[in-house]
Structure formats: C-alpha cells, structure tokens
C-alpha cells in the first residue's frame, strides 16, 4: 500500500532534511513535543531550530550548559550584550536544551528509557524544523575495560548485555529488534581529531550498553550482589575479548534510533575508571570536571 511505501521509503527528503518513518505525524494538526515543552502549533520551530547542524547530548543539565558555553567560545558565537544562554526546555522540568548557533546541547538523563523519549522528540523536532543533514553526538561518561580513567572512547558499535549489536524493545507486546549501528566514517573522522600531544588517549572500540549501573555492569558494590568477584572478572574479560572497551547506559538506543531515522551519529565517552581494577568512582570532583 501507499502507507507501507511511505513507511519504508528513504528517511531523507531530497534536500537532506529529516523525513519521519511515521505517516501519522504529518496528518496531525499539531504535534506537541511534551517532554521538551515545545510544539509545532505553539512555536515556530523552523525559525527557532532551522539552522541546527549538530545535536549534542549528554547526561546532566549542568554539563550540557557548560558544553554549550564551551562551544560558544570555540566557534566565536556572540550572545546579545548582557544576556546569558537560556534553557529552551526549562518549562518541561525534564531535559535541558541550549542552542549556540548551529549546535544544540541537550541533557538526556540516565538510561535507555530517558534517552529514547528524548530521541523521539528531538528527531521529530528536526523534521518540524526542516533541519538538513543533522549529526547527532552523545558525549558522556563510561567505565573502561582495560583503560584507565580519563581515556576518550569513540564507539564503533553498541552491543547489549548479551553482546548483541541490537536494541530490543517491546511494541504491542511483541519483541522488536533494531540494529545499533553507528557511522563508522564519522567515528574515524573523530579519531583523526585526536592529537598525539593530547593529555589523554583516544581509542575506538565497541561499547556495551547496560540497563543498570550496578548489577547490570557486573559491579560488586550495589545494594545487591549475587555473583562472585571471579564471575564479574569472567564476564568483563569475555566482553573485552569480544572487542568491548567501555560500558555505559544509553549507546544502544542512541545508535539504534538515529540509525533507524537515517541520522549520522557518534558516541564519545570518557572513562571514569578501569572496571578491571575497581567499581567505585574514586576520582575527586575536580578531576571528574576536568
Ligand atoms: C554514564 O553515566 C551514567 C551512570 O553514572 C549513565 O547515564 C551513563 O551512560
Ligand atoms: N557510567 C556508567 O554507566 N558506568 C560507569 O562505570 C561509569 C559511568
């Protein structure tokens, strides 16, 4: 049927703008992006976001505000005298969003459900705003496997806790799988930006995405632990042998949904510790901020 064709047709319009794989949206009078406190009826989304090129997401509101201020300096973007950056989605009390020229800096909270809700709404935002060829980045924290704290990891692919490179979600009570693919060329381009004088290493590898920080990541220090240290080491070593270099909690969804939407995406995370050596985040606050 026409609907089916629409549903599977290329996910871009010829000018590069994002096309939704959902025929329902364009039939709606207005689309309320509830968790962003924005809407296609209440806001001129083309005017507000039409010039966006890069969408950067990370866990916390404060870090993404700092990142926006950092990017502002980097690209020499000037705000009107006497003004500061505004949290565009502050009325949502859910996520924070800052815009600096072509860069959006958005907090996604912790874990797959949180980043999934945000991605649905930000991908729709790209569509409503007719943004062309946006590139999405997750910039976050992670645990390293065999890498000291402070290592920068670019993900080549995301895998789940059983090492499958796909996101599993339940839709209408049925299990659905979506490949968790990231843009390999973009990952290589990012790696090429690393400089040998950088005071940290930059590596590429697979990222394991867990639905939990404690038991799901094989930590011995949660409120519960029903496995031994040897079991933990066996699991982490198995991951390491399969090419996994770090563990975090959003990459599988980030990779799967951006890939499904035909959006180029990359995940870049800094390790907080080497999980082969410990579980607790021991680095002092100043070091973490650095
Ligand atoms: C990294 O850090 C958070 C857990 O501390 C989680 O959001 C993640 O992926
Ligand atoms: N975030 C995670 O999900 N795991 C870690 O070990 C560190 C940060």
CA of 1 to the centre of ligand 1 (A): 42
Q: Tell me the pLDDT tens digit for each residue of 101-144.
A: 999 999 999 999 999 999 999 999 999 999 999 999 999 999 99
Can you give the pLDDT at residue 10? 63
For the cut 90, the answer to whether the pLDDT of residue 289 exceeds it is: no
Can you give the pLDDT at residue 67? 98
CA of 31 to the centre of ligand 1 (A): 30
For residues 169-189, give the mean pLDDT. 98
Half-sphere exposure of 73 (CA within 13 A, CB side): 5
Return d(Cα 91, Cα 19) in angstroms, integer: 27
Nearest-CA residue for ligand 1 atom 3 is: 110
Residues with CB under 6 Å of ligand 1 are 59, 110, 140-142, 213, 248-250
For residues 70-93, give the mean pLDDT. 96
Nearest-CA residue for ligand 1 atom 5 is: 213
For residues 163-188, give the mean pLDDT. 98
Tokens of 191: 């790696």
**Confidence category of residue 1, pLDDT binned at 50, 70, 90:** very low
For residues 157-165, give the mean pLDDT. 98
Average pLDDT, the chain: 95
- What is each CA distance from 55 to 78, 83, 138, 247, 248, in whole angstroms? 19, 23, 8, 22, 20
Q: Tell me the pLDDT tens digit for each residue of 27-48.
A: 999 999 999 999 999 999 999 9
Return d(Cα 266, Cα 123) in angstroms, integer: 15
Q: Tell me the pLDDT tens digit for each residue of 144-155.
A: 999 999 999 999
CA of 58 to the centre of ligand 1 (A): 9
For residues 279-290, give the mean pLDDT. 92
Can you give the pLDDT at residue 135? 98
Atom of ligand 1 nearest to the CA of 209: 9
CA of 5 to the centre of ligand 1 (A): 38
Q: What is the DSSP string of 33-73?
A: EGGGTEETTTS-HHHHHTT--EEEEES-HHHHHHHHHHHHH
Residues with CB under 6 Å of ligand 2 are 141-143, 213, 217, 247-249, 272
């Amino acid at each position: 049927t026409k609907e089916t064709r629409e549903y599977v047709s290329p996910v871009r319009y010829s000018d590069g703008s994002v096309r939704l794989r959902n025929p329902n949206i364009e039939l709606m009078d207005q689309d309320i992006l509830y968790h962003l406190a924005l809407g296609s009826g209440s806001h001129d989304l083309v005017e507000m976001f039409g010039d966006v090129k890069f969408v950067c997401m990370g866990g916390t509101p404060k870090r993404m505000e700092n990142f926006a201020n950092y990017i502002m300096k980097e690209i020499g973007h000037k705000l009107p005298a006497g003004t500061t950056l505004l949290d565009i989605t502050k009325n949502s009390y859910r996520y924070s969003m800052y815009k600096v020229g072509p860069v959006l800096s958005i907090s996604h909270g912790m874990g797959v459900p949180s980043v999934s809700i945000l991605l649905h709404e930000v991908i729709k935002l790209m569509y409503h705003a007719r943004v062309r060829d946006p590139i999405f980045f997750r910039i976050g924290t992670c645990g390293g496997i065999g890498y000291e704290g402070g290592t920068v990891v670019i993900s080549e692919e995301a895998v789940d806790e059983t090492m499958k490179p796909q996101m599993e979600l339940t839709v209408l009570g049925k299990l659905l799988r979506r490949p968790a693919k990231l843009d390999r060329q973009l990952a290589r381009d990012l790696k090429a930006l690393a400089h040998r004088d950088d005071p940290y290493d930059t590596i590429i590898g697979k990222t394991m995405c867990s639905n939990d920080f404690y038991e799901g990541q094989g930590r011995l220090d949660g409120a519960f632990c029903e496995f031994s240290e040897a079991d933990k080491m066996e699991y982490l070593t198995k991951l390491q042998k399969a090419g996994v270099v770090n563990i975090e909690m959003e990459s599988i969804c980030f990779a799967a949904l951006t890939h499904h939407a035909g959006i180029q995406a990359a995940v870049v995370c800094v390790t907080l510790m080497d999980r082969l050596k410990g579980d607790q985040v021991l680095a002092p606050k100043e070091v973490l901020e650095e």
